[in-house]
Chain A
Amino acid sequence: MRGAQDLVLGVESSCDEMAAAVVRGGRTILSNVIHGQADLHAPYGGVVPELASRDHVRAISQVVREALTQAGVVPEELAGVAVTVGPGLIGSLLVGLSFAKALAYRFRLPIVGVHHLSGHLASIALGSETVSPPHLGLVVSGGHTALYRLEAPGKGVLLGETRDDAVGECFDKVAKLLGLPYPGGPSVSLAARAGRTDAHPFPRPLEGAAGLDFSYSGLKTAVALEVKRCSPMTEAVRADLAASFEAAATDVLIARTRRAVQQEGLGTVIVVGGVAANHRLREGMGRAAREDGFRAVFPPPALCTDNAAMIAAAGWQRLARGERDDLRLNAFSRSPLAPARAPRPPA
Chain B
Amino acid sequence: MKILALDTATENCSVALLIDGQLTARERLLERGHAECILPMIDEVLGEAGTPLASLTAIAFGRGPGSFTGVRLAASVTQGLAHGSGVPAVPVSDLAAVAQRILGDDETAQRVLVCNDARMREVYWGCFVRSAGGLAGPVGEERVSEPGQVALPAGWSAGPELRGAGTGFAAHPPLRSSFSTILAAIREVHPRAAEVALLAVSEVTAGRLRSPEDALPVYLRDDVVRPGPAGH
| Residues of A near any B CB (own CB < 8 A) | 44, 48-51, 53-54, 56-58, 60-62, 64-65, 68, 74-75, 90-91, 94-103, 105-107, 327-331
Residue pairs across A and B with Cβ atoms less than 8 A apart, 20 shown, are A49-B230, A50-B225, A51-B224, A51-B225, A54-B68, A57-B216, A61-B213, A62-B213, A65-B213, A68-B84, A90-B69, A94-B76, A99-B76, A99-B80, A102-B79, A103-B81, A105-B42, A107-B84, A330-B35, A331-B35
B157 to chain A, nearest CB (A): 40
Among residues of A, the one whose C-beta sits closest to the C-beta of B46 is: A105
Among A61, A107, A330, A331, the residue within 8 A (CB) of B212 is A61
Interface presence of B33 (CB below 8 A):
yes
> What is the bound-complex CA distance between A11 and B123, given in angstroms?
35
**Chain B hits for A100, CB < 8 A:** 80
B39 within 8 Å of A (CB atoms):
yes
Cβ of B81 and Cβ of A327 under 8 Å apart?
A: no
Contacts of B216 in A (CB 8 A): 57-58
Name the distance in Å between A135's Cβ and chain B's nearest Cβ: 35
Q: Taking the complex as formed, is B228 at the interface, i.e. its CB lies under 8 A from any CB of chain A?
A: no
| A91 engages B76 (CB within 8 Å) | no
Mark B63-95 against chain A: 1 for CB-CB distance below 8 A, else 0.
Answer: 000001100110111111111110000000000
* Pair B39/A94 contact, Cβ less than 8 Å: no
In the assembled complex, the Cα of A324 lies from the Cα of B19 at a distance in Å of 33
A-B pairs, 7 with minimum CB distance = A102-B80, A61-B213, A98-B76, A99-B80, A327-B39, A103-B80, A328-B36
Chain B, 192-227, CB within 8 A of any chain A CB: 212-213, 215-217, 219, 224-225
B231 within 8 A of A: yes
Q: Does B50 contact A (CB under 8 A)?
A: no
Residues of chain B contacted by A64 (CB below 8 angstroms)? 83
Residues on the A chain within 8 Å of B231, using CB: 50
Residues A106 and B81 in contact, CB atoms below 8 Å apart: yes
**A189 vs chain B, min Cβ distance (A):** 30
State A96–B76 Cα separation when bound (angstroms): 8
**Docked CA distance A327–B35 (Å):** 9
Q: B40 contacts which chain A residues (CB < 8 A)?
A: 327-328
In the bound complex, residues from chain A placing their C-beta under 8 Å from that of B82 are 106
- Choose among B35, B43, B68, B85 the residue that contacts A98 (Cβ–Cβ < 8 A): B35
Expressed in whole angstroms, the minimum distance between the Cβ of A149 and any Cβ of chain B is: 33
Q: Is B53 an interface residue (CB 8 A)?
A: yes
**Total interface residues in chain B, CB < 8 Å:** 35
A residues in contact with B42, CB < 8 Å: 105
The reply to whether B217 and A94 form a contact with Cβ atoms under 8 Å apart is no
- Which residues of B are interface residues toward A (Cβ below 8 A)? 33, 35-40, 42-43, 53, 68-69, 72-73, 75-85, 212-213, 215-217, 219, 224-225, 230-231
Contact partner, A94, options B73, B79, B84, Cβ 8 Å: B73
Contact A53 B72 (CB under 8 A): yes
CB-CB under 8 A from A91, the residues of chain B are 68-69, 72
Q: Which residue of B lies closest to A43 (CB)?
A: B225
In the complex, the answer to whether B80 meets A98 with C-beta atoms within 8 Å is yes
**Chain B residues with CB under 8 A of A60:** 76, 79
CA distance A98 to B72 in the complex (A): 9
Which residue of the partner chain, among A65, A95, A331, contacts B83 with CB atoms under 8 Å?
A65
Flag if B225 contacts A97 (CB, 8 Å).
no
Q: Across the interface, which residues of A come within 8 angstroms of B78, CB to CB?
A: 102
Q: Which residues does chain A contribute within 8 Å of B217, judged by CB atoms?
A: 57
Q: Are A50 and B83 in contact, CB atoms less than 8 angstroms apart?
A: no
Give chain B residues whose Cβ lies under 8 Å from the Cβ of A75: 83-84
A65 and B84 CA atoms in complex are apart in Å by 8
Q: How far is the CA of A91 from the CA of B70 in the complex (A)?
A: 9
Instruction: Write out the residue numbers on chain A whose beta carbons fall within 8 Å of the beta carbon of B37.
Output: 328
- A91 and B85 CA atoms in complex are apart in Å by 26
**Known A61-B83, A65-B83; 11 more pairs at CB < 8 Å:** A50-B225, A61-B212, A91-B68, A94-B69, A94-B72, A95-B76, A98-B80, A99-B77, A101-B39, A102-B78, A103-B84
Given contacts A57-B216, A91-B68, contact A98 B81 (CB under 8 A): no
A130 to B9, CA, bound (A): 47
Complexed CA–CA distance, A105 and B42 (Å): 10
Given contacts A62-B213, A98-B73, A99-B77, contact A105 B224 (CB under 8 A): no
Judging by beta carbons under 8 Å apart, are B68 and A102 in contact?
A: no
Query: Shortest CB–CB separation between residue A271 and chain B, in angstroms?
Result: 34
- Output the nearest chain B residue to A59 by Cβ-Cβ distance: B213
Q: Of all chain A residues, which has the CB nearest B214?
A: A61
Instruction: Tell me the complex Cα distance, A101–B40, Å.
Output: 11
